[in-house]
Structure 1
Amino acid sequence: MIQKKKTSAKVDQFTESVIREMTRVAMKYGAVNLAQGFPDFSCPSELKQAACDAIAEDINQYALTWGDRSFRHAIAQKVRWYLGLDVDPERQITVTCGSTEAMAATMLATIDPGDEVIIFEPFYENYAPDAILANATPRYVTLHPPHWTFDQAELRQAFNEHTKAIIINTPHNPTGKVFTREELALIAELCHQWDALVFTDEIYEHILYDDRKHIAMATLPGMEERTVTINGLSKTYSITGWRVGYILANPELTEAIRKVHDFLTIGAPAPLQRAGVTAMQFPIDYYNNLAALYHEKRSTFLQILDQIEIPYSIPQGAYYVMADISQFGYSSSLEFAYYLSQEIGVAAVPGSSFFRQPEDGRSLIRFCFSKRPETLQAARERLLQLRQIVRA
């Protein structure tokens, strides 16, 4: 009798999402959820109304596969004023089911077996599985704390004739790093040298601190043609559950990506795309107020960590902070994360989920501070229990 393995060898190379698992753990133990990266406050009322209006107007059937036309044109207008890029909404924009599908569709559309994809480590946990599912071999380049910089020699060594692309996430999840123009220029130089693509995840583009500026790789000289820019509504507009993302790319790449997107999901939710037009038309004051809001939340949470005397790296962007838990003596960050949820009542993400070798993240944990003041206060009250352990 013939017996065949019932599952793909690909899925043996990665686990389920630890980030999403920690939300389930938080729910099980009634912990304050500072794990998964979503706000627990309301999105702008204008977006709620726009979504309701779209549904009431019977925009409830399939949108055009690559995106509602009015939404794509609104994206192009926003990209023009914010990034200074002129993007053809008919030939260079694809709307997807979140930035998660955007990255997967991009890899599946561009990668062949034997290709390599460079990933900065620590990394958002979806990137390596996406590369593996696309039959690529991930190559890792280390970001070194406390400022999460990379070694130029290590990056140069990672590029070779098999390099198809490099993934850049700026602002960066989980570290909060914002890539500098000098760093991006070096990456651009290497991409030209090795004829490589750049997949940029810019979902946190408006959440920046200390007067930092977001620099899109596609705006660097000669990089627009070889950059696939991935973004979405989730973080900037506090609507992570809407699952509306988008991709900017040159027409050749867009044509390939649209083919994959079509057979992955057909299209993103039609009424929510139409509501996205409203988001794209928000005035600049909205983004300034968003940055100020998150600056306050960052300050509040860093004060909490100072109170309990846990070292951390100051995030330059996004809404996460990586903290050092080595003083607690746990053999793994996953073990500490379960202890934190079960015994302290606060959920966080173990650092191990952001590294290919879990032991490399054993002394780190990621907190998400995109929460209401009362949520952060509840977390403070519970986390203060750790101060006794630190001082013991």
Structure 2
Amino acid sequence: MVHLPSSKLPNVGTTIFTQMTQLANQHQAINLSQGFPDFLPDSGLLSSVDHFIKKGFNQYAPLGGMIPLKEAIATKIEKSHQTDYHPDSEITVTAGGTQAIFTAIATFIQKEDEVIIFEPAYDCYEPTVELFGGIVKRFEMKAPDYSIDWNVVKGLITEKTKMIILNNPNNPSGKVFKENDIQELIKIVKDTSILILSDEVYENITFDGREHLSICRYPELKERSLLIASFGKLFHVTGWKVGYCAAPKALTDEFRKVHQFNVFCVNTPVQLALAEYMKNEEHYIHLSQFFQEKRDFLRKGLSNTSFGILDCEGTYFQALTYDKISDKNDFEFATELTIRHKVASVPFSAFYKNRLNENVIRLCFAKKQETLEQALEFLAKV
């Protein structure tokens, strides 16, 4: 019998998203756990992919991505954030946001390097850092406001700090960075060599007139940052797995050294279709309004229940407390909610290393109106 080598990720199992989706499927529950839309993307975008497939664009794309798409990305960033990235040397098309994050960490993190993350955190950050021998240091943002004490963050900085990973707007809390947060971050990294990995896949989904303050708007941050974004969130096509990394040339050159051996390139006809579709900015500038209507509908429906509704400043996730309903921990409650009440959610403790339980769950509202209506009907009976 062959003895397997020791695991590089001994404490990692099946993700909570997969667990809750499987549970939802098993019990025929409405799946508000995993973050994907249950409605179709624009038929014009679908037709465009079909067009480029039939026109014969079915072979390898260039390493950095198709030029028309990189130019469209550069134009979008310039219009949104008034800053320039060179399409050919500073923008790399990736197989989704998660691949871009993995590649960035793989590129720059070496053994004993320290990486600061903010919890609740997207679940790919820490395992990837550990794969490459890095050490994760955490700041815990807590309910109900998930604010950041930057003095505490400053105390986490050592001579070994190589990278700070940000997620703005934050999944799962829905928290959006304010100007003060950015200015405090600038102070912390000034006169250091610390890199910033800025996960901004929900950049176009902010609410109540809030502006997304991208890391690239600030020259002192842009020069040290890798900005990650995703077309899956922008155009409701999470299964296409297309995103990008924008970074200064020196960082991009290193990023692409790893990227070429990770995936090399990304789906050619889809890239061309996205480039064509992005020529009309009307296809994405109203995304916040689109999702705010869904957020507001869900929040209004929940206002008549015993759930506590936390602030949601961005993303398409709503955080709820259930203190008045149950004294179970959040995993037990989310399981019961799925089995007994037919609505699947995600427990917030899954986003913390120490499984911090504050009796908070997350619902995804990137769903059809009838899906949300049925979910509210079930939740009203909890």
TM-score by length of 2: 0.96
Equivalent residue of 1:326, what SS?
coil
TM alignment of 1:248-327, pairs within 5 A: 248-283=246-281, 285-327=282-324
Which stretches in structure 1 are left out of the alignment for 5+ residues?
Answer: 387-392
Matching residue's letter, 2:18: R
Aligned to 1:329: 326
Matching residue's letter, 2:347: P
- Tell me if structure 2 keeps the 8 A contact 1:163–1:194: no
Which residue of the other structure, out of 331, 356, 359, is the alignment partner of 1:363? 359
**CA distance 1:362–1:143, shift in 2 (3 Å):** closer
Aligned to 2:85: 87
- Tell me if structure 2 keeps the 8 A contact 1:185–1:220: no
Aligned to 1:390: none
- Tell me if structure 1 keeps the 8 A contact 2:317–2:362: yes
- Tell me if structure 2 keeps the 8 A contact 1:170–1:205: yes
Q: Distance in 2 between matches of 1:52 and 1:134?
A: 39
Measured after TM superposition, the shift of residue 36 of structure 1 is 0.7
Which residue of the other structure, out of 114, 119, 122, is the alignment partner of 1:121? 119
Q: Distance in 2 between matches of 1:198 and 1:127?
A: 13
Deviations 1:272-303 (A, max 9, x none): 111110243232x4434322221111111112
Q: Distance in 2 between matches of 1:191 and 1:234?
A: 31
Measured after TM superposition, the shift of residue 149 of structure 1 is 0.7
> Does residue 176 of structure 2 align to residue 186 of structure 1?
no
Q: Distance in 2 between matches of 1:130 and 1:362?
A: 26
Aligned to 1:245: 243
Aligned to 1:35: 33
Deviations 1:58-107 (A, max 9, x none): 11111112211221111111111111121111111111110000000000
Measured after TM superposition, the shift of residue 221 of structure 1 is 3.3
Equivalent residue of 1:62, what SS?
coil
- Tell me if structure 1 keeps the 8 A contact 2:306–2:325: no
Residue identity over aligned pairs, in percent, reads 33
CA RMSD, Structure 1 to Structure 2 (Å): 1.6
Measured after TM superposition, the shift of residue 4 of structure 1 is 4.8
Deviations 1:246-281 (A, max 9, x none): 000111111111111111112211111111102432
Equivalent residue of 1:247, what SS?
strand
- Tell me if structure 1 keeps the 8 A contact 2:170–2:176: yes
Measured after TM superposition, the shift of residue 192 of structure 1 is 2.0
Aligned to 1:389: none
Aligned to 1:212: 210
Measured after TM superposition, the shift of residue 362 of structure 1 is 5.1
Matching residue's letter, 1:375: T
- Tell me if structure 2 keeps the 8 A contact 1:225–1:250: yes
- Tell me if structure 2 keeps the 8 A contact 1:180–1:215: yes
Equivalent residue of 2:141, what SS?
strand
Aligned to 1:197: 195
Aligned to 1:56: 54
Deviations 1:197-225 (A, max 9, x none): 11011111111111100111121132221
Aligned to 2:379: 383
Aligned length: 382
TM-score by length of 1: 0.94
Aligned to 2:95: 97
Equivalent residue of 1:231, what SS?
strand
Query: Greater helix share, 1 or 2?
Result: 1
